[in-house]
Amino acid sequence: ELDGGGKRHISGLVTAARVVGYEGRSVTYELRMEPWVKLLTHTSDYKAFQNKTVVDILDEVLAEYPYPVEKRLVESYPVRTWQVQYGETDFDFLQRLMQEWGIYWWFEHSEDSHTLVLADAISAHKACPDSPLVEWHQEGLKLDKEFIHTITANESLRTGQWVLDDFDFTKPRSLLANTVANPRETGHATYEHYEWPGDYFDKSEGEMLTRIRMEAQRSPGSRAGGVGNIRTLMTGHTFTLMNHPTAEVNQEYLLVQTTLFLRDNAQHSGQNQHFTYVTTFELHPTREVYRPQRTVSKP
């Protein structure tokens, strides 16, 4: 339960359990709770998908799992002639396709379920319902509200230009190379990444893939990390930071990762409970396009 009277729900599947130890009449258990996409790591297959978009394939594979999915996609994805799942788990296969096309996901929790949300644009994200505006204050202050006390802004060099190319043996004179430049405002930002083959024979598909590659390359260049005694920050949601002494840090952010640590000091039921809680998080400024990194290789 939250200070304002509301509740934050966290749901999932219990995927492991063990007895940790005994103390008097008490038994300590350890449970591992994970989202339902964990089930996708327990099955693999060989399948060919013909004349389908990446969204068609996502729908077909996820339909085999009886859990809620919500698509908040704004891009128009091309029909691909031939795409193959080659001995991969369903999870790795879908991750590979989504990372290739710039689609990413998170979960939104309710009282009795958690929904997989698929997105490809910042506009898909909702503000944290209980904390759309969050203040920064110095650590150690005794305030009657939750706040953030640590923010670390990070800027890094990124490649500023992406070139994608391929060759169509049925049209050997066709020029398929595409170039997208979007350098960050840093030094040494004009270097180029050349990728071949680009896995396309249609130049318009190549244009889209090159743009997505460049956006993915630029995306991690501006990030922030932080800590606060605040329970309402949720991955996949946004909030606006206020009151930080560095004006540029006060802006709207997307939460790309959160870790919530809770501790109940009561030893037995019925004792006065005293909760401590700390949230650590990673932030992406919403003024920048967010894209996932390609971490899953083709088999």
73-86 confidence digits (pLDDT tens): 999 999 999 999 99
> Do 57 and 140 share a domain, yes or no?
no
> Do 73 and 206 share a domain, yes or no?
no
> Do 49 and 137 share a domain, yes or no?
no
Position 193 in a domain: no
91-100 confidence digits (pLDDT tens): 999 999 999 9
pLDDT confidence of 271, banded at 50, 70, 90?
A: low
Query: How far is residue 234's CA from residue 109's CA, in Å, rounded to a whole number?
Result: 10
Q: Which of 122, 143, 171 is the last residue of a domain?
A: 122
Residue 276 pLDDT exceeds 90: no
pLDDT confidence of 140, banded at 50, 70, 90?
A: confident
Residue 171 pLDDT exceeds 80: yes
- Provide the pLDDT for residue 5: 47
- pLDDT exceeding 90 applies to what percent of the chain? 79
- Provide the pLDDT for residue 270: 56
> Do 134 and 46 share a domain, yes or no?
no
- Provide the pLDDT for residue 18: 96
Position 20 in a domain: yes
Contact 111, 279 (CB under 8 A): no
> Do 140 and 263 share a domain, yes or no?
yes
Going by C-alpha positions, the residue among 281, 165, 155 that lies closest to residue 218 is: 155
Position 170 in a domain: no
Residue 266 pLDDT exceeds 90: no
Angle subtended by helix axes 90-101 and 54-62, to nearest 10:
160
60-76 confidence digits (pLDDT tens): 999 999 999 999 999 99
Strand, helix or coil for residue 231: coil
Position 290 in a domain: yes
CATH code of the domain in which 26 resides: 3.55.50.10
Q: Which of 122, 150, 173 is the last residue of a domain?
A: 122
Query: How far is residue 257's CA from residue 193's CA, in Å, rounded to a whole number?
Result: 28
- Provide the pLDDT for residue 142: 82
- Provide the pLDDT for residue 263: 75
pLDDT confidence of 216, banded at 50, 70, 90?
A: very high
Residue 264 pLDDT exceeds 70: no
> Do 91 and 140 share a domain, yes or no?
no
- Provide the pLDDT for residue 124: 98
- DSSP H helical ranges for the chain: 54-62, 90-101, 203-218
CB neighbours of residue 75 within 10 Å: 15
Residue 241 pLDDT exceeds 90: yes
Residue 238 pLDDT exceeds 70: yes
Query: How far is residue 199's CA from residue 208's CA, in Å, rounded to a whole number?
Result: 12
Q: What mean pLDDT comes out for the span 278-282?
A: 95
- Provide the pLDDT for residue 8: 82
Position 249 in a domain: yes
The mean predicted confidence, pLDDT, of the chain is: 93
Number of domains in the chain: 2
> Do 56 and 135 share a domain, yes or no?
no
> Do 92 and 154 share a domain, yes or no?
no
Q: Which residues pair with 89 in a beta bridge?
A: 44
Position 179 in a domain: no
> Do 94 and 206 share a domain, yes or no?
no
Q: Which of 95, 122, 149 is the last residue of a domain?
A: 122
> Do 114 and 129 share a domain, yes or no?
no
> Do 142 and 100 share a domain, yes or no?
no
Most confident of 6-20, 42-56, 140-154, 253-267: 42-56
Residue 269 pLDDT exceeds 80: no
Q: What mean pLDDT comes out for the span 210-234?
A: 95
Position 166 in a domain: no
- Provide the pLDDT for residue 255: 98
pLDDT confidence of 23, banded at 50, 70, 90?
A: confident
Query: How far is residue 54's CA from residue 249's CA, in Å, rounded to a whole number?
Result: 37
Query: How far is residue 231's CA from residue 249's CA, in Å, rounded to a whole number?
Result: 21
- Provide the pLDDT for residue 280: 97
Residue 25 pLDDT exceeds 60: yes
Position 181 in a domain: no
- Provide the pLDDT for residue 119: 99
> Do 226 and 130 share a domain, yes or no?
yes
- Provide the pLDDT for residue 206: 96
Strand, helix or coil for residue 42: helix
Query: How far is residue 87's CA from residue 162's CA, in Å, rounded to a whole number?
Result: 30
pLDDT confidence of 6, banded at 50, 70, 90?
A: low
Structural domain of residue 137, as residue ranges?
Answer: 125-159+202-299
- Provide the pLDDT for residue 19: 95
